[in-house]
Structures are given as structure tokens and as C-alpha cells.
Structure 1
Amino acid sequence: MSVSMLRRTERDNVQICNNLDRQDGFDMELISGTVHHRQVLFETGYAARQAAINMGLYHSFLLRRRDRMGVNSSVKHSNNGQTRWTLQEAARILGSRSGMPDHPIAGVSIDTRTLKAGDLFVALKGERSDGHEFVPLAFKKHAAAALVRSDYQPSEAGGPVIRTHDPLSAFQTLAAAYRDRFRIPVIGITGSNGKTTTKEMMADILSIAFRTARSFGNLNNHIGVPLSILNWPEDSQIAVVEMGTNHFGEIARLCEIARPTHGLITNIGKGHIGFLESLDGVLRAKTELIEGLTRDRVAFLNGDDPLLRPLHEKRDHTILYGFSEGCDVQAEFAGLDDSGCPAFRLGDETVRLRIPGRHQAANALAAAAVGRYFGIPDVRIREILESHAAFDRRMQVQAVHGITLLNDAYNANPTSVEAALETLAGMPSLKRRFVVLGDMLELGDSAGTEHRRLGERIAGLSFDGFFAYGPLMREAVSRAREKGLRRAGHFRSHADIAELLAEEIRPGDGILVKGSRGMRMERVIVLFGKILAQTESG
């Protein structure tokens, strides 16, 4: 590997551009600014990018890859700067004989509330509504066309339609075809917990040096993944795709669509164990991601997870990250602050997170491991991680009338609830600590056992109160009482819990609110806030 050392002054800018331009498909374009650093080491491939980032070149230059990291030059561009095919091309990909105008597609939408002019509207049938009912509205909002069932009558639409036997399958086919137009690294993320937080941290880190596409929110299923892919900007240099599952074969199918080149598994826990039968079943479902990798086939695995670590010995191109000995990317845990936010040492940097919970350090380290692999220096990784706030309803810390509220209401399983309980228990600044939980769903035959175990754990952590909602939580409340927790109660509604909290909680106290998605525990938070606001105004 050739190495050249350059003495850098302002007149060296052109020489730096020329040197990097020769390095393994990189193209350097001077944007603005003056180069102040005195030395830079240039190598080939990702090392060239890493050297540029380390020296701060990303402030002055735009790095583009003409080859492996670039976008297929044959892709058409629409006026809004995104890679799109025309309506004719989309119809041809789907094997439709419908006569379509040669108009570009600006984007793809499955929801008329967020549809933009020029989008292709995909009419999907859901549990509560059928997208075909909204096709006329889509055209009123200037959709370019609609993808509909074969039996849908075009006269009802108000615009051009692409007819297909199965709109969902056609939607996925379009996403796979669009994905194939990009020759870029695609990082798939799965795991029982921490997927969305890790994805957001990772994408933010990679955005330092790459134009980064990412999954929308937590859209990680057979609809969300293709929707996110179909809206990747055309100049994307790297993509991060979250993948969820509760049945065998789901991630394998998502890999067929997204074709990830790299994969990361955050952990293996008891989420969806009712469908996946056992922890070994969860492991088998999650490792469909690793089996589905293309090209580089690099897997990032949590080396602190006893089920994932052995995979390191069974396959090549595996990178272990964690806080235990022997990890390829190893950090040192540095404790929690008074707000329960963790810190850890990564190389020469000490990272202090703003999100409470020791488990958040593992999520951050996962993102850091990928960032390092793609050439982002530790100091830049630290800056991003320290600026990162909690994602929606995932360990969000909210101050409500002097009360600390941990809003972790998005979802729950035994592993994530345990982590949340430890977070609340480890916040010394709180006067009293209260737990509000909804049922943990999709646990199958182990549901009763897991809820009883949860009640015992809550009693053992000596919380000041435990208030629960949902039929399964009766088991947890009963067990907590048996183990000596006097302030444990089961309630029939979100409103009942909110009213009790308003009477019980005082400034300086802390509340954890958590439950499976189907329990909608955020309603407790909303109602609680309304009661406090009414009390204060009255």
C-alpha cells in the first residue's frame, strides 16, 4: 500500500485534490475554507477517507466515490434531486401493460397525509383501512400515479394507475429494483432491543463523512423497509436500514429487498418469544440478517451478549464490540451520572451520553464500532454521541412540574423492562421512584412466568410504588405484593393511573412509564400532564 506524506499550506489544496483523486475511486471537490493542518496521510480505499476525516478535511472538501461508493451513473434524476424512474419504467418493472406517461416519479407514499406532489401513491390494504379508498384524494394532492389492485376501476381514480394482482408485493419489487441502482454500503440493523436508537446514532455518525440514507423512524417491517428505501436520496453514499421481526423468514425477506452489505445485531432478548419459541429461536431469526449479507458480508456483533459472541468463532468478517475482554472494539464503562446517563471510554475519548440507562452505552458503542470501521475518528464519534437525544418514547426524560418522567412507552419486553427498572433505580437525585407498566405482549406460554418474575424484581428494587395496567400485569402486581411491596396496584384504565399519579406524585419524584406498543402507555403521560395543567390553572 503506497503512502505519501504531504506538507500542507494553502497552495497545497490543488495537490491534495489531485492525490486523493487517484486513490481508489475517490474524487475530491474543493468547496470552501482554508486548510490549516500541517500533515495528512493518504492511503487507499476507506483508509484514504479516514485520513481525510482525521485531518479535518471534511470541512473543506466533498468526498465522492466514482466506483464502489458511488451511484450508478445511468440512474435518472428528477427535479427534486432524487433517483427516480419514470412511470413507464415503474410499470415495466412490474410487468404492467398499462400505458403510462413518461413522467418522473418524485417519491413514493402509502399515506395521503404525507403525500407530496409527484409521488407514486401505493394503495395498501391495512387492518383498519384500505388505501384504495384514498386514491381519489391522492390525485387531488397531485400524485403522479397510483399503484392499485387489478380489480380497481381506473375510472374511479382521477389519474393514471398501475394495476397489479398484489400491490404489496409490487411495492416490495419496486423497492428491490430501486435498491439495485445503488452501489453503496447498506448496513442492516436488527436485535431484540435498541435497534432504533442505534440506527439513529449510527446514521448521525456516518453523516459526518457520507451522505447517509436511513430508515424512517422505526419503520422496520415488510412495509416500512421498502418505503424507506424508495425514498433514499439519489446521491446517498451509504444507507442504514433497521429490520424487525416476530416470525421466522421476515428478516430473510427484508434482506432480499434491502440487500445489506453489512449487518449489526444489538442483542438477543425475549421480545416476540411467543412467536419465536425460545431464545435460540430469537437468535435464529435475528441471524437471518447475517446470512443475507451481500458483497462485503461484514457482521458487527455485541460481544457482551452470550448468545451472539460464539458466532464470532463460526464465521469470517465478524467484528465484536463491547465492554468485555477480547472485543475488537472494546470500551471501558465509566459509570452513571446523577441523572442515570452513562459514560464510557473509547480509545482516548470519554463519551458522556445524554440518554439515561446503562444499556444506552451498548447502543452507542455499536454505532461507534460501525463509525470506526468506515473511518470516522473517535473524537468525531464522541461529539455526535454526546449531542444525541433520546428518540421518541424511548427513554425520553421529561420534566413535568418538577417531576422527572422517564417516557419509555414505545415498547416492552422482559429485557428492556429490566434495563428501564435499573435505570430508574440508579438515579440518586430522585426523592421517590414510581413504576407504571403495561403488559409485555407476544411472550406466548412464558407470559405468566415473565410477569411474575417482573413483579418480584420490582419488589426487590424497593420502589415507592408500582401501578399497572393490562390483564397480564395482574400477575406482576400480585407477586410484588407477595414479596413485600405495599404500594402495588392494578388499574382498569390509563385514566385511573393518571389520576392516582396526580394525587401521589410530588416535585422531586421520578416516574417510569413503559409497556408493549399495544398497551399505549403514553396515554397515561398525556392524561397525567392534562390533570396537572388543569390543577395549576384552577
Structure 2
Amino acid sequence: MITTEQLYQHYLNHPVISTDTRKIAPGSLFFALKGDKFDANTFSEQAVAAGAAYAVIDNPAYQLNDRCIVVADVLIALQDLARHHRRQLTIPVIGLTGTNGKTTTKELINAVVSQQFNTLATQGNLNNHIGVPLTVLSINASHQMAVIEMGANHVKEIELLSSIAQPTHGLITNVGKAHLEGFGSIEGVKIAKGELYDFLATSGGVAFINSNNPLLMEMYGKRKFATPAIFYGDAIEDLISGEITENAPLLSLEWTNNTSGESHAVKTQLTGAYNLDNILAAISLGVYFKLSAAQVNAGIKGYQPKNNRSQIVRTQNNTLICDYYNANPSSMIVAIENVGKITADKKVLILGDMFEMGAEAASEHTAVMQKALETAVDERIFIGQEFSKAPQLLKSGTFQGTATTYATTDEAIEGLRSHNINGATILIKGSRGMAMERLVELF
């Protein structure tokens, strides 16, 4: 059976990886991964016929010719190949994880450091046990830096992904309530995300830490880092400090390089006060890697959010904050708080159910609904089975404005068709499975 080193020689000759027979790159290596409902071993012949140089399989029954390479386990072979490739690289690799803001922070960091370095960054949200190896294997000799996002819904996943990406620099955006079915509790989340700090501490890597976040500071304090950490926040002791100067709803901020004492202003295309931390993280990395303030600001100013993460959409009648890529209690609370802070004549919250809450579903949806009722907005619309179970809060009558619940997105669409909302700033947020994007056309 072929070794990782032997497989690596094939990779050097064919440095493009394919995992989908519908998107075979000519001359690529096809890895026959298994899914819940398919076994790609059965597609090996099709992959080769479509132009793959070799098909990597783990079922000898499908070894039809010498262009089929048999390994013990295709997924492990892919991960081992990526790990081996990473060991050959000498460039800085920035790894990041966190409950919220991973992808936005990754994109902001990429936008900044790309002003000076040829940078490869995780595409989309390919941040799991398959996506991270594919990202690492996309790094070639032209790249001067890499930014790799790592996600997890179980303990030990970040440990695995760190062993593959082997970041030289890293950060945790935050630690909050998400994937509680897998993590079990907020303590489980801290352990899981902290696996990145564990890797950096033992490998001599540099951690970038939000000094305003008490959980992150606690996690940092429990580990002995061989290399001093870099801090960002609002203290003059931090490398970078900053504050929001406008939120209407796009953010403007002023940031200070506390080493030089110089302050700089920048306008962004992002909404959400919670994004200040993500922006400062990107600025701190830019300053750390010796980019000029002009380069840093160009990266921040030029970043245009997409994929329905803190994305502003202006329609003929309203300003929409489209933030429905996903949702959990932590991101819901800060999104609601942000709407309370923004400058707008009329404000509306449209909130959909949060998934993967496990036994905490009822209490967490109640807490989010309570937060929405306490926030000064004109109208609140709750959508989903879980939100519909907590109507007793709506009967209190102690909140200003109005509140409505719908059991499903379909019911909400039907009800809102005849409910005109004009001249408002509207937050639309919910878990991906709620398909909240279907509501956009109504406003």
C-alpha cells in the first residue's frame, strides 16, 4: 500500500485535488471520500475518465488499473498528505477559530495582509476536517502567507485541524453558545476552541488575543506560551486599540497603533458594533506584519461583506441587515444589541429559530426573545417552532412597539405579504435551515 511520501510525489506532479466527479480538474488527484449517502470509490472510474490523473481509493474492488491508488482510508490519506505538505512550507500560516465571526475575520485579515503579501485564504467556509486539508494543499510556491479558518462542533476537532494547518500565528474570535448538542456546555466550547491556544503554546506560535474578552483572557492565562501574545482591544497597553465613531448602519472607527502612538480613521462596508473586534484583529495582524497604516486601511475599507454575513442590502423601501447565514444565542444577542445602537428612524427585528441547541433550546430562545423585547425597536417578528413556544413573554405588554410570531417561514411570508414595512432598518437573522433569505423580496 502506498505511503504518504509516495503519494506526495504524485501530488507534486499533479498539485490539484478533486473530490467531486462533477468538477474534475484535468490532471488532478481525485480523492474518493465517503459521505452519509454515497461512497465515491464507486466513482473512481468516472473520475479518471473525466480527466483525473489518479483516483485515490480505499476499496481494492474498484482498483481497475494503475491509475487507481489504494490507501487504507481516503480521508486520513488526504489529511496526512496535507500535513506532510504543510511541513514543507516556511511561510506564516494564520489559523483562526471561534464561535462567531470566523469567516468575517478571516476575510478581513486576508483583505489586509493581501495588500502586501500573496495570500491564500480559506474559500467560503471550507473549515472542517475536509476543507482544511484541501486549503493547505492549495498553498503553492507563489504564496507568501496563508489564512486558514477552522470550525468545530465537537471537542478535539480544532486539535486535529491545528495538527494539519500547523499555524504559526492564530486567534480565537470569541467563545459563545453554539453547537451545544456537540459541545454539551459553554465549558465544552472553551475546551474545544482552546485547542488552538494549546497548539500555539506548545509550538512556539504567536496568539493574537482580544484583551476586552474576559473568557479569552482567562483561557490565555491558563496556558504557558513560549512566545508573548499580541493583544488588541481598547487599552493603550494593547498593540492596537480602537473605537467606533459611527454606526449608521455602516461602521466607521478610529484605531491607534500604540507602539507609534499614531491614530487613524477608516470607514468600512460592515455593519454591527460586534464587528469592531473582528476589524481590530485584522488591523493588529497587519501592523504586526509591518504593513503601513495606508495599506491596513485600504484592506479594511475595501472589504465588502457577502454570503449574508452582516451584509447591507438597500431596497427601494428599506435598509436590510442580512445576517442569516447562521445563528446562535451569542450572535443573536449582539446582533439585537447592535440594532438598538444604530442610528435609524425606524427599526425592525425579524428573528428565526436557532438550531443545534439541544436541551438548551427552550431557555436560549426565551432569552433571545427577552432581549428583543427589551431593545428599543418599533417592531419584532419571531419565526419558528421554538420561538412560537415562548408566547407568554409577549403577553407581558411591558415592551414598546409590536411583536408577532409565526410558526414557520412559509407562514411568515404569507403574513408579511400584506404587512407593509417602509423606511426601516431591518435585521433578518436566523439559522441557515430557516431559509430567512426568502423574506428579502418582501421588503
Q: Which amino acid aligns with 2:206?
A: V
Q: Deviations 1:212-243 (Å, cap 9, x if unpaired)?
A: 11111111111110111111232212111111
Aligned residue among 292, 315, 328 for 1:413: 328
SS of aligned partner of 1:383: helix
- Give unpaired runs (5+ residues) of structure 1: 1-89, 533-538
Q: Does 1:496 align with 2:411?
A: yes
Distance 1:506 1:409 in 2: 19
Q: Which residue of 1 aligns with 2:79?
A: 172
Cα distance in structure 2, aligned partners of 1:114 and 1:515: 31
Structure 1 Cα separation of the partners of residues 124 and 10 of structure 2: 33
Instruction: Map residues 78-117 of structure 1 onto 2, 5 A cutoff.
Output: 91-93=2-4, 104-117=13-26
Distance 1:179 1:305, change over 3 A: same
Q: Is contact 1:190–1:265 with CA below 8 Å preserved after alignment? A: yes
Distance 1:483 1:459, change over 3 A: farther
Asked whether 1:217 is paired with 2:124, we answer: yes
Q: CA deviation at 1:162?
A: 1.4
Q: Distance in 2 between matches of 1:323 and 1:282?
A: 22
**What is the rounded CA distance, in whole Å, between the counterparts of 1:144 and 1:523 in structure 2?**
42
In structure 2, the residue matched to 1:68 is none
Indicate yes or no: 2:36 matched with 1:127.
yes
Number of the residue aligned with 2:260: none
Partner letter of residue 441 of structure 1? F
Per the alignment, residue 91 of structure 2 pairs with 184
**Residues 1:523 and 1:167: Cα distance change in structure 2 (over 3 Å):** farther
Aligned to 1:434: 348
Q: CA deviation at 1:254?
A: 0.7
Q: Normalization by structure 1: what TM-score?
A: 0.74
Aligned to 2:310: 395
3-state DSSP class of the match of 2:41? helix
Match of 1:349 among 238, 259, 264: 264
Change (3 A) 1:261 1:320: closer
> 1:388 deviation in Å?
1.0
**The residue matched to 2:269 in structure 1 has which SS?**
coil
Aligned to 2:213: 305
Cα displacement (A) at 1:462: 3.6
The CA deviation at 1:367 is 0.9
Distance apart, 1:154 and its partner CA? 3.0
Q: 1:461 aligns with which of 358, 365, 375?
A: 375
Identical amino acids, percent of aligned pairs: 34
Alpha-carbon contact 2:26-2:53 (below 8 Å) kept: yes
Change (3 A) 1:430 1:116: farther
Give the drift of 1:481.
4.2
Residues 176 and 257, structure 1, Cα contact 8 Å, conserved in 2: yes
Shift in Å, 1:340: 4.3
Deviation digits for residues 423-466 of structure 1, max 9, x if unmatched?
233333343x3322222223333221111111111111143333
TM superposition shift of 1:94: 6.8
Match of 1:446, SS state, is: helix
Asked if the contact 1:301/1:318 (under 8 Å) is kept, the reply is: no
C-alpha displacement of 1:311: 4.3
Q: Secondary structure at the match of 1:246?
A: coil
C-alpha distance after superposition, 1:90-117 (max 9, x if no partner): 9442778xxx989921400222343321
The corresponding residue for 2:58 is 149
Tell me the amino acid that sits aligned with residue 113 of structure 2: L
Aligned to 1:262: 169
Partner residue in 2 for 1:444:
358
Indicate the structure (1 or 2) with the bigger Cα radius of gyration: 1
Normalising by structure 2, we get a TM-score of 0.89
Runs of 4+ in 1 over 6 A off after TM superposition: 100-103
- The 2-side partners of 1:409 and 1:460 are apart by 22
Going from structure 1 to structure 2, the CA distance change for 1:412 and 1:482 (only over 3 Å counts) comes to same
CA contact (8 A) 2:14 2:28 kept: yes
Alignment of 1:24-43 (within 5 A): none
Instruction: Return the alpha-carbon distance in structure 2 between the equivalents of residues 276 and 220 of structure 1.
Output: 17
User: Which structure has the higher relative contact order (CA within 8 Å, separation 6+)?
Assistant: 2
**Contact 1:94 1:173 survives alignment (8 Å):** no
Structure 2: which 5+ runs fail to align?
258-262
Q: Distance in 1 between matches of 2:10 and 2:338?
A: 57
Closer/same/farther in 2, CA of residues 476 and 386 from structure 1, 3 Å limit: farther
Kindly report the root-mean-square deviation, in angstroms, between the aligned alpha carbons of the 2 structures.
2.6
Query: C-alpha separation between the residues in 2 aligned to 1:319 and 1:484?
Result: 46
